[in-house]
């Protein structure tokens, strides 16, 4: 049941804080006073949600649960659960990490499901309906966390794993013994890939049978270095990632103190924005325009934070089989870092099935790779031995 917990105010701005989004007025998202006493994945509250015409016949619920941020502190996180009418007890559970390019709480998938956002309908709904028709339950975690920490990839992995724990703890869902699969692309692929890599240490009890991760930015440092100091049409995404990391690591990455007046104005313009707002605010701008000095790109503190959220630098390896897809000519992500990471997994004995998708751009690759990804996960749910082209 929904409790009457008070809404949480955004932290005060200052030179050692990130630029936080406006407080969410919905008390469902507010942490209880005893959150720290709860275990990761422990359910705090649940509530039924209105049905959606986009997903006919599907029961929709939300669960709020205890998770952990990148610095080991307790946070309240949320996930949306889609229960198809033809599901079986302890049937397949897919944790699907939505593409969220945003800094505002309204950008979370639990919010966007109940808006008229055409990107969600065009990009995500067809694939979700395919698996729902197969009887799979789908969990959609708000993997950027309560402060919409865009770019904090490790956080996304932890929230994803705790979200699965929470869903399996809710008796009415009937998923306590379900096999679990992970899927996601781009930013959702980061959360997926990190969840797979973290699971052996963070959530070893979960029965994860496979993970499908596409277009994964596996090295934030290389992405930032490639962007350089020149104007770029997608600069807004890089700026948003810097703001998001500043929110997640306020003491280690005091992003506001690095920005000049123009940068502060851009950050405030973006602070509650979703994809289109962020792209519009940053289009054609550059690091040199918005910072007091470009030297921060070589600052050890910044580089450590970026490295800690770069899968290529994380030494752990998944235990679950991996399906990975990307375009060999993707200009938004460092493809060499994906290949290096997959080779390391292969060397460690992970069964990796990698697929190159001939596509001219990043988002088209997502659509083209989904059928293979879903067929791969379907085979894992059916117990078929995982293939590998290592």
Secondary-structure percent of the chain, ordered helix, strand, coil, rounded to 5 = 40, 15, 40
The mean-pLDDT minimum among 244-248, 275-279, 369-373 falls in 275-279
Residue 7: is its pLDDT beyond 50? no
User: In this predicted model, what pLDDT tens digit does every residue of 48-64 receive, in sequence order?
Assistant: 999 998 899 999 999 99
Residue 272: is its pLDDT beyond 60? yes
User: In this predicted model, what pLDDT tens digit does every residue of 84-120 receive, in sequence order?
Assistant: 999 999 999 999 999 988 999 999 999 989 886 656 5
Residue 275: is its pLDDT beyond 70? yes
Tokens of 53: 């015409």
Place 291 in a pLDDT band, splitting at 50, 70 and 90. Answer: confident
Residue 281: is its pLDDT beyond 80? yes
Residue 15: is its pLDDT beyond 70? no
Mean pLDDT calculated for residue range 21-26? 88
Place 154 in a pLDDT band, splitting at 50, 70 and 90. Answer: very high
**Percent of the chain at pLDDT above 90?**
67
Mean pLDDT for the chain?
90
Tokens of 310: 């770069």
Q: At what angle do helices 362-381 and 125-133 cross, to 10 degrees?
A: 10
Place 9 in a pLDDT band, splitting at 50, 70 and 90. Answer: very low
Query: In this predicted structure, what is the pLDDT of residue 228?
Result: 66
Sequence-ordered strand ranges (E) for the chain: 43-49, 59-68, 74-83, 93-97, 137-141, 180-185, 208-214, 322-326, 352-356
Residue whose token pair is 């929470």? 166
Residue 384: is its pLDDT beyond 70? yes
Place 122 in a pLDDT band, splitting at 50, 70 and 90. Answer: low
Place 322 in a pLDDT band, splitting at 50, 70 and 90. Answer: very high
Q: In degrees rounded to 5, what are phi and psi of residue 185?
A: -130, 145
Query: In this predicted structure, what is the pLDDT of residue 2?
Result: 33
Q: How many CB atoms lie within 10 A of CB 40?
A: 19
Mean pLDDT calculated for residue range 326-345? 92
The mean-pLDDT minimum among 10-19, 220-229, 264-273, 341-350 falls in 10-19
Residue 213: is its pLDDT beyond 90? yes
Residues in the chain: 390
Query: In this predicted structure, what is the pLDDT of residue 11?
Result: 46
Mean pLDDT calculated for residue range 360-368? 86
**In angstroms, rounded to a whole number, what is the distance separating the alpha carbons of residues 242 and 19?**
10
């Amino acid at each position: 049941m929904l409790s009457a917990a008070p809404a949480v105010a955004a932290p005060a701005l200052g030179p050692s804080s990130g630029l936080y989004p406006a407080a969410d007025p919905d008390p469902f998202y507010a942490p209880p006073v005893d959150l720290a006493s709860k275990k990761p994945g422990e359910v705090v509250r649940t509530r039924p949600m209105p049905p959606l015409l986009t997903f006919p016949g599907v029961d929709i619920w939300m669960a709020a649960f205890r998770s952990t941020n990148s610095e080991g502190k307790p946070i309240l996180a949320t996930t949306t659960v889609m229960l198809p009418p033809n599901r079986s007890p302890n049937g397949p559970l897919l944790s699907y990490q939505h593409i969220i390019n945003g800094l505002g709480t309204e950008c979370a998938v639990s919010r966007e499901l109940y808006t008229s956002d055409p990107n969600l309908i065009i990009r995500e709904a067809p694939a979700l309906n395919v698996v729902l028709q197969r009887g799979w339950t789908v969990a959609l975690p708000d993997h950027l966390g309560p402060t919409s920490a865009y770019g904090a990839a490790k956080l996304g992995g932890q929230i994803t794993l705790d979200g699965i724990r929470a869903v399996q703890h809710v008796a009415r869902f009937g998923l306590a013994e379900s096999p679990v699969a992970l899927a996601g692309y781009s930013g959702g692929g980061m959360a997926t890939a990190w969840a797979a890599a973290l699971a052996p240490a963070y959530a070893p009890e979960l029965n994860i049978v496979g993970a499908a991760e596409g277009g994964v930015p596996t090295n934030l440092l290389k992405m930032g270095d490639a962007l350089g100091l020149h104007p770029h049409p997608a600069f807004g995404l890089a700026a948003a990632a810097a703001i998001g990391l500043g929110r997640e690591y306020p003491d280690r990455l005091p992003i506001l103190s690095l920005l000049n007046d123009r940068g502060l104005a851009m950050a405030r313009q973006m602070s509650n924005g979703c994809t289109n707002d962020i792209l519009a605010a940053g289009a054609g701008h550059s690091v040199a325009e918005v910072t007091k000095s470009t030297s921060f790109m070589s600052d050890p503190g910044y580089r450590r934070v970026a490295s800690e959220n770069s899968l290529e630098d994380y030494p752990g390896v998944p235990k679950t089989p991996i399906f990975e897809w990307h375009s060999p000519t993707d200009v938004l992500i460092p493809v060499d870092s994906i290949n290096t990471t997959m080779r390391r997994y292969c060397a460690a004995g992970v069964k990796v099935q990698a697929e190159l998708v001939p596509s001219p751009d990043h988002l088209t690759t997502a659509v083209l790779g989904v059928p293979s990804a879903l067929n791969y996960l379907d085979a894992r749910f059916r117990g078929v031995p995982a293939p590998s082209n290592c």
